[in-house]
């Protein structure tokens, strides 16, 4: 990275933005998972129309926040890895999808920190970490 970003301030900005976006995706993924645990399909379907609409808006806001951060991640990492947003599986209930999304957000966050720290005890090479970042990112949505 120091070769690609020789200016210390540019490196700091890249690291800061990458960590911010990764943490943002992770926070919203956790929020969706907590909502899914609190409102499984059977509970959500039993809510009043008004309460269900409120829950749907809250879920959509978290999903959009993840999508917005993901759109910013793509050009940020472009010099190092080609990231493609995953296709949204609209047939899967959001409650079910929230667990997979959280697991992939956790992986994305771990790999982001791992790559930016330039080391770790997981024996991953930079190439392997970038490939895993690509896989986790593609499965986010």
85, 74 in Cβ contact below 8 A?
A: yes
21, 111 in Cβ contact below 8 A?
A: no
Burial of 141 (0-12, 13-18, 19+ CB in 10 A): middle
List pLDDT tens digits, range 112-139.
998 888 666 677 788 888 898 998 888 8
What integer is the mean pLDDT of 17-30?
Answer: 97
Band of residue 41 on the pLDDT scale cut at 50, 70, 90: very high
Burial 34-57 (b: 16+ CB within 10 A, else e): ebbeebeeeebeeeeeeeeeebee
Band of residue 1 on the pLDDT scale cut at 50, 70, 90: low
Torsion over CA of 22, 23, 24 and 30, rounded to 10 degrees?
A: 110
Residue 62's pLDDT is 97
40, 95 in Cβ contact below 8 A?
A: yes
- Reported pTM: 0.87
Contacts 24+ apart (CB under 8 A), 55-62: 59/32, 59/35, 59/94, 62/28, 62/29, 62/31, 62/32, 62/35
Band of residue 99 on the pLDDT scale cut at 50, 70, 90: very high
Report d(CA 123, CA 77) in Å as an integer.
22
- Measured from the Cβ of residue 110, the count of other Cβ atoms closer than 10 Å reads 19
- 32 pLDDT exceeds 90? yes
Report d(CA 114, CA 130) in Å as an integer.
10
């Amino acid at each position: 990275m120091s070769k690609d970003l020789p200016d210390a301030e540019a490196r700091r900005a890249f690291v800061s933005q990458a960590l911010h976006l990764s943490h943002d995706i992770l926070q919203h993924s956790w929020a969706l998972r907590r909502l899914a645990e609190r409102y499984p399909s059977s509970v959500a379907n039993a809510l009043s129309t008004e309460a269900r609409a409120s829950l749907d808006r809250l879920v959509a806001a978290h999903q959009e926040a993840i999508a917005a951060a993901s759109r910013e991640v793509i050009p940020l990492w472009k010099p190092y890895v080609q990231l493609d947003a995953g296709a949204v599986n609209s047939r899967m209930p959001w409650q079910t999808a929230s667990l997979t999304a959280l697991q992939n957000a956790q992986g994305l966050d771990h790999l982001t920190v791992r790559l930016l720290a330039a080391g770790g005890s997981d024996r991953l090479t930079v190439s392997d970490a970038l490939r895993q970042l690509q896989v986790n990112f593609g499965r986010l949505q």
